[in-house]
A and B are shown apart, each in its own frame.
Chain A
Amino acid sequence: MKEPSDLELMLAVKAGDRTAFEQLYRRYRDRLYAFLVRYTGDPSSAQDLFQETFLRVFRDRARYEPRAAFATWLFTIARNLFLDSVKRAWTPGTFIEPETATLSIPDPTPGPLETLAQEEAEAVLRRAVASLAEEDRAILLLSRFEGLRYREIAKILGTSEGAVKVRAHRALQALRRALTD
């Protein structure tokens, strides 16, 4: 049987179908969570934002208009909630440093030295991404991991596709510099 599209599911959610909400949730759960962990740099904040984002999707279901893709809407909500939380609780320039012990390791049986090296590599990467400006970080992560097109990212950020293209390049340049420093 053909899987229902995001749009079909969201319209069903709008009509009050909670099973459709759970289907959408399962479809986007891992993607959103991974994005938030990388974007905030902190699994604990990511978990809070993850819950708030899906709750907001559910609360605002009546106002969903199928003008933009569901993914665009979802990531827009997530980013706006993050920006709100930054305004509320963080001082400018701060970035939550996650506990390295919580990071998962792709190889199931690495030796202690390998684990250390991997953790160190991840920490370098995390710091490099954290050093990017918020918008640049969002662009790079949405493009690299979510496979969103520049025009979709532009909608999320409320900017032009051209600006996203320029900023994406600037972000990767900065990341490269940070990784090689």
Chain B
Amino acid sequence: MQCQDAQALMTAYLSDEVVSIERREFEEHFTTCACCREELASFRESWERLGRWPVPAMDSRIERDLLARVEQEAATLGPRLRPVATALAAVAAVLLSIAASVFLPYERAFQLCREGLKGFSVFAGLPDSTLFFIAGIFYGVIPLLLVGLVSARLMGGAGAGLNGTATGVAFALLMAPYVLIVCSALPGAFTAAILGGIALGGLSGSAGGLWLGSRTRRPAW
């Protein structure tokens, strides 16, 4: 081992980070090199001096305050309804869902559903209202999944279930007038089926989005 290599390893050696062969070579070098021995002694002195640095005792009030704050946190950290965030999330989801229905009207989604499912024997003979229900799910689940993901990343995962459910319910209530107007030409059973699908999709999409978002949120640490 050369002096330059040995000197580069001195701090690692003092930290017990030099192992096996390298450590042996390092120690062998010191038996023959007085200059490196001296250098290591000087490093060791600084290392030891640093290690003797005392710290003041912590004020006992700090501990009391901290544990009291933890107690307080524990009491407030349970699932908590966030009305403003929930309302904003529901409105955003409504806008997304309406935009989706403009690009792909409900009747067209129903037809796509019928065509897509007719190849599967298990879905053969499903009544049209069920197909409207299935089509409706997409208008609920996709907007709420997106909104839930964003909300969770912004506000954290606490109360994901509660806030997700509240957002889903608010979304379904806000969507109802729009669906009733847009589907006024359709039989009532179909309108109800679409609305039911949207509500179910909204509830599951919202809870799922918030849950997924809280799992993937970048931690503060």
Spell out A's residues near B (CB within 8 Å): 18, 21-22, 25, 29-30, 33-34, 37-38, 43, 47, 50-51, 54-56, 58-60, 62-63, 73, 76-77, 80, 102-106, 122, 125-126, 129, 140, 143-145, 149-150, 165, 168-169, 171-173, 175-176, 179
Contacts and interface: CB of A to CB of B under 8 A. Distances in A.
B54 A122 contact: yes
Interface in B24-67: 42-43, 45-47, 49-59, 62-63, 65-67
A129 B10 contact: no
A116 to B, nearest CB: 15
Contact of B67 (A22, A56, A122): A22
A76 B70 contact: no
Nearest to A107: B54
Contacts of B45: 176
Nearest to A30: B58
Interface stretch (B11-19, B100-108, B178-186): B11-19
18 contacts: A30-B58, A33-B55, A47-B62, A55-B66, A56-B221, A58-B74, A60-B219, A62-B157, A77-B221, A104-B55, A122-B53, A122-B54, A125-B53, A150-B12, A150-B17, A168-B12, A175-B46, A176-B46
Contacts, number: 113
B99 interface: no
Contacts of B46: 172, 175-176, 179
B54 A149 contact: no
A122 to B, nearest CB: 7
| Interface of chain A, main secondary structure | helix
B122 interface: no
B82 interface: no
Interface of B: 8-12, 14-15, 17, 42-43, 45-47, 49-59, 62-63, 65-67, 69-70, 73-74, 77, 157-158, 217, 219-221
Contact of A172 (B11, B58, B73, B158): B11
Given A60-B220, A125-B53, A169-B10, 20 more contacts: A18-B74, A33-B58, A34-B55, A38-B55, A50-B62, A55-B70, A62-B157, A63-B219, A73-B221, A102-B56, A103-B54, A106-B54, A129-B53, A144-B50, A168-B12, A168-B15, A169-B12, A172-B11, A176-B42, A176-B43
Nearest to B219: A63
A173 to B, nearest CB: 8
| Interface of chain B, main secondary structure | helix
B49 A179 contact: yes
B174 to A, nearest CB: 30
Contacts of A34: 55
A165 B17 CA distance: 9
A56 to B, nearest CB: 7
A55 B221 contact: no
Contacts of B62: 47, 50-51
B58 A58 contact: no
Given A18-B70, A33-B55, A37-B56, A140 B12 contact: no
A160 to B, nearest CB: 14
Contacts of B8: 169
The 10 closest A-B pairs by CB, nearest first: A169-B11, A176-B46, A77-B221, A34-B55, A172-B11, A37-B55, A168-B11, A51-B66, A102-B56, A33-B58
Contacts of A172: 10-11, 14, 43, 46-47
Contacts of A18: 70, 74
A37 B52 CA distance: 14
Contacts of A62: 157-158
B148 to A, nearest CB: 17
